[in-house]
Each structure stands twice: as C-alpha cells, then as structure tokens.
Structure 1
Amino acid sequence: MELTSVKKIIEPMPASDGAGVKLKRAIGTPELDYYDPFLMLDEFGSDNAEDYVAGFPPHPHRGIETVTYMLKGEFEHEDSTGAKGRMASGDVQWMKTGRGIIHSEMPAMSEGKLQGFQLWINMPAEFKKNKPEYIYIDSKQMQIYKDLDKKITIIAGKFKDIEGPVSKHNVEPIYFDVELNEGKEFNFELSSTHNSFIYLVDGDIKIGDQTHEPIQNSKLIILNKEKNLDVLALKNSKFLLISGKPIGEPIARGGPFVMNTEAEIQEAIQDFHNGTFAKY
C-alpha cells in the first residue's frame, strides 16, 4: 500500500487583516499563492485583546467562498443579505459570496483567548455571479466521530459513514478537525485527483513512512497525491485535514475579489464604488 507522502512543509507568515487583527497566513503568501481551489488560509489567535479587538469592519467580497471556523471565543457577523448572528466556540460560517456581499466580523469579547481559522475557496466561473448564500453551522449540528484514539469533527466530507453538514459541493471538500492521542494513528483515504493539506494546530506528527524530523505545530503540510493518508501522533496533537477538487480555471485577484479576468476585477471595484455591488 502506497502511503501519502509530504510534498512541502510551509511556515505560515505573520500578517494582519481587517482593522489590524494579527494572524498567521499559510496560503495566499509569496511561498504559496494558490493551491487550487484554496486561495487563502489564515489562523487568528491570541489571548491579548489588542491583537483582535478591532476585528473585521464592513468589507466586500465577490467570487469566493469563505469558511470561518471558531475554536475559541466569539464573533458577531452581519452582512448585506440581512444575515446576522454570533459565532461561538466550535461554530462554522460558510459563506458563498457569489456576485457580491458586504459583511463584518467583529469580536464579541474584549478579553480572553480568541482562536480560529478562515479559509478562502475559489468558485468556478459559472457560480461567481450567483446570489450570495450564508450557511451557519452551530457546534451542536456538527458531526463527530470519536473512539479511544481520536476525535474527528467533520465539517465537510465523510469519515467512515458519518457525513458533515456541508455536502454536495462542486469542489467536493474535505474539512476535518482531528484530535489524535499520543502514539495513535489516523488513517484516511484521500482522492488522488484532489489537492490536500494538513494544518498542524498543536502537537508533533509523522506522516506516512517519512524519515525526516517530526513535524511540529503551526505548520502547513502539502500532501502528495497518494491516496492512503497515515498520520502518527508523537504526542497529543490537533490538526486540520482539508482537501478539494481543483477547478483549473485562470484567476485574477483584486484584494477581496477573485474572478477570472482583470476586466471582471475592475467591474467589481466599479460596482462597489457606484453602489450597485450588493444589490439583489
């Protein structure tokens, strides 16, 4: 059996976004600009309120999906579709921005630990002009697999016979939060046609039959295309496993807008400035 091997290990770079929220960016950097269909992966996390209290005031998006996963803390969300709510620990917001949305994400706390992730997924050209859609997934709705060795929170995709709340998606995403006990293994069959990666949140792991040093926390691990993933925890570890089918289309970026051509980016900018951006 051929085991999935490590293609590349990337150290996330310090960055800031919104009104100065400090974060670590793993995808969307000079080292890894795009990993089709994934455009960006940020980890935000601090127990210093000055690092996050300014939040993400109202800002636009077009042509992408944003997936926000809260590990600790609370955020309040509001957008131009009229959707609003409070995200707490374990909750997920999956937002399809389509032809345009304006939203804000502001901390609902002024002290304590805030930690989470935001993933940007590209949309195929045929869906970039669709009406925006907002999906809120309460932690109580999340599907969980648990045994003596591990706990797997299934946000998207299927583990064994347990299917996550996000399914029937065009890029067929896998999004698992895996907690693995020391000395135990996690095994999963990936699609050889998909692009897959692990983000190690905490702990030390080995992947496949690797002979190099153990991989330590806060690393992005790009996986090769072999199907059989085998992860060994050298101590209690937590990681995200994310996978998706490449779209294979040209992309053009303009800040919060991701389209297929520069002309479409200019159109998005003009629509935003002339007030027609988020008209449904």
Structure 2
Amino acid sequence: MDRRTVLGALVSVPVLAACRTDSPRAEPGGTEVSMVDFIKHIEPLGFPWKTPDPFLFCVHHDDAYPEGDERLGPAASLEGRNIGQDFGGKGGWNMYHGQVVPGFPQHPHRGFETVTVVRRGLVDHADSLGAAARYGQGDVQWLTAGKGICHAEMFPLLNKSAPNPLELFQIWLNLPRADKFADPHFAMFWSHTIPRIVERDAAGKATELMVVAGRLGEARAPSPPPKSWASRPESDVAIWTMKMEPGARFTLPAASPGTNRMLYFFRGSRLRIGDREVPGRRLIELRAEMAAPIENGPDEAEMLMLQGRPIGEPVVQHGPFVMNSAAEIQQAFADYRRTRFGGWPWPSDDPVHGISGDRFARHADGRFEKAG
C-alpha cells in the first residue's frame, strides 16, 4: 500500500488484517541466506519500504522541486500532472495531494505514531488541536496520533530564485493496545539536539551516523513521546541514518535478542556485510543479535536503519487507522465522521506558514519553541 492509498482511503472497503509478530519473509525475487550469515534476507527496495513489527510503514521522499512562486508552490507548469494524486515523478518531483503547494493536506490518523525525518527542505505542520510547526534541515517531528488527530503536511517552496530540494523519511511506528487511545502529542527534535557521530576506521575513512531514536555508545537520542513504544527501555527501538565514505568500514553493534533490524541501502553502488556482497537499492534484514561488519564499496553510501522488539499484537489497518480489530477500525471511522477528531481550525485544508524561513513549533497548550 503506497502513501497515496494510506492517506486517501476513507471509503468503505474490506479491512486488511495481519498479526505482525515476525519481520518480513522472502518473496519472489528475494534472496534467503544461511543461518550462520549476518543477513537473514535481501530484496530490492520497493515503494513503500517494507517494515518489521513494531514499524508499519516507511517511505523516502526525494523531490527536486524548482523555484517557488508567490504562493509557495512550484514556479512551473502543472500541466500533465494528476493534481490531487500526483505521484508520477514528472520532472523529478511530485505534488502528491497538494493543489497549489506540494504535500499532504489535512487527513486523519489513529492508533500509531509518525516519525518524520527531514534531511533537506521544509515541512509545514498544522493540526486539529490548533498546533502548528515549520521544521526541516535535519529536524525530526515525532507525532503520537493516539486516539485521533487530523494534520496537514505541506512542503512550502520558499526560494524564488533557486531550486527547493526536499528529502525526508516518514516512518510509522505502531502503538501497543494499551496506548492506542493516548492523547495526541507531538515532539520536535531540532537538528542541533540530535546526536551525530563520526566513526573512523583504521584507514581513517568515516562513517557518519545520526541517532534519531535509541542510543549508540554514549550518544542517546532525544526522548520520544511518553506513550510511544520507543519510550519503553525493553522495546530496543532505534532509528539511525548512516553515511559511509568510499571503502569505509564500520561494525553495527549487536542489539538485544528478539529484536527486528532492517537496513535500507538507498544510495550507493554496493556493500559487503560479512562475506556477502550487497548491490545498491536493497532492503537488508539483519540478525540483530549479531554485530554486523559493513564495508562500503567504491561510492559514498547511505542507509536508514530501523530496529525494535516486536509488539506482537494483531494489526488491523485501513487507510490512516491502525488498530487491533476490525470492530475498532469501524469505530475509528464512526468517531472520525462524528467528531473530525476535534475539527479543523484552519482556513484551508493545506495551510502554510508564511515566507519566513524560521523553524518553530506552537503546541496546542500554547507552548512555543524555535529551532536553535
């Protein structure tokens, strides 16, 4: 299910159900490996990227937006695009569900969390609680949807004289049954608060890591929201990005037994993990309890790592709602139709926050914070 379907499916169709107690298994075109290997499974990256329990969804947006116009949309013709459902990548960028500004106008969520890691560009957040934020340039927003929230995620193109590239990961992390009706909440991890580590091998070649969740050695990520699965020490949740110089070597430390660990090799030509060579654009399921030696190939490489102990509860998902039973999904739709999860206090479905590049967050309780 791609993000277009996930965010747009508010119609009556059969509910999808699964019990997410194991990480993804082999499919046609995948490669299974021996039990003594560091690697359980390798397959080409798809869209969206497959995720293991406790994660639900991961997508990498990488859009080469052109100069912006006076409305903070692209200063380019939109002819030939399926406006409202533009996922075709024409010209190297998408409008997604946006009509004027690219992005995702208001839509609901219940029962899980979104973690949005913005590497380049800006995202404007607005929600049904009246909160707002502008973040990017290395910032992370961690949102607990809990019992229900509507939000918009728009990509304002502020630069009128140069391109406006946008690159981000959006990751969905499940909530356990006990916390699916937690109060909605979001936390901002401003770029300067997120640990970044440079490890050099014996030849002096660097591996750079950003620790969004979990810990690496003495480096500990900012605290996740209080009801997050990641807030439980036993969850072993980690979200790291990795960049390796050509030929660099790095050993990924072992995680706790029973943890699921996935490595998304999205940029670069090849890696070697132990004795196995891995070509670029691959999903790599690792044996988390084993420290995995990685050697990069001749080109710079980038990876995203997701790991966590499985929640091990039934997962029933329909569009933007993720619960434990079909009855709870039906209730989510009924609650959304009745309450709109608090309504929508904004003048449009796709608000943006002006021409200033200042990054900020204004929370529902009135608290205000600025980046840096």
d(CA) in 2 for partners of 1:275 and 1:183? 55
Unaligned runs of 5+ in 1: 14-23, 28-33
* Structure 1 partner of 2:283: 220
TM-superposed CA distance for 1:166, in Å, is 3.3
Number of residue-to-residue matches in the alignment = 260
Q: Does structure 1 residue 151 correspond to structure 2 residue 208? A: yes
Partner SS for 2:312: coil
* Structure 1 partner of 2:41: 8
* Structure 1 partner of 2:360: none
* Structure 2 partner of 1:120: 172
Length-normalised TM-score, structure 2 = 0.66
* Structure 1 partner of 2:231: 169
Amino acid at match of 1:158: R
* Structure 2 partner of 1:82: 130
| Aligned partners of 2:38 and 2:290 also within 8 Å | no
Amino acid at match of 2:112: I
d(CA) in 2 for partners of 1:91 and 1:201? 20
Greater strand fraction, Structure 1 or Structure 2: 1
Unaligned runs of 5+ in 2: 1-34, 67-92, 96-100, 201-205, 225-229, 344-363, 365-372
Counterpart of 2:57 (choices 40, 43, 66) is 40
* Structure 2 partner of 1:202: 267
Distance 1:102 1:214, change over 3 A: same
d(CA) in 1 for partners of 2:271 and 2:342? 44
Partner SS for 2:327: helix
d(CA) in 2 for partners of 1:222 and 1:106? 32
Partner SS for 1:232: strand
Amino acid at match of 2:282: K
Amino acid at match of 1:206: R
d(CA) in 1 for partners of 2:210 and 2:44? 25
Quick check: which has more Rg, 1 or 2? 2
d(CA) in 2 for partners of 1:233 and 1:95? 34
Over the aligned positions, Cα root-mean-square deviation in angstroms equals 2.1
TM-superposed CA distance for 1:4, in Å, is 6.1
* Structure 1 partner of 2:113: 65
Identity of aligned residues (%): 32
Greater mean deviation of Cα atoms: 259-268 or 155-164 = 155-164
TM-superposed CA distance for 1:228, in Å, is 1.1
Partner SS for 2:157: coil
Q: Does structure 1 residue 26 correspond to structure 2 residue 83? A: no
* Structure 1 partner of 2:21: none
Partner SS for 2:332: helix
TM-superposed CA distance for 1:278, in Å, is 3.7
1:169-219 Cα offsets, whole Å, 9 max, x none, are 133311111111222222112222111101113112122222xx4321x32
* Structure 2 partner of 1:160: 217
Q: Following superposition, which runs of at least 4 residues in structure 1 exceed 6 angstroms of deviation?
A: none
| Aligned partners of 2:258 and 2:289 also within 8 Å | no
| Aligned partners of 2:236 and 2:256 also within 8 Å | no
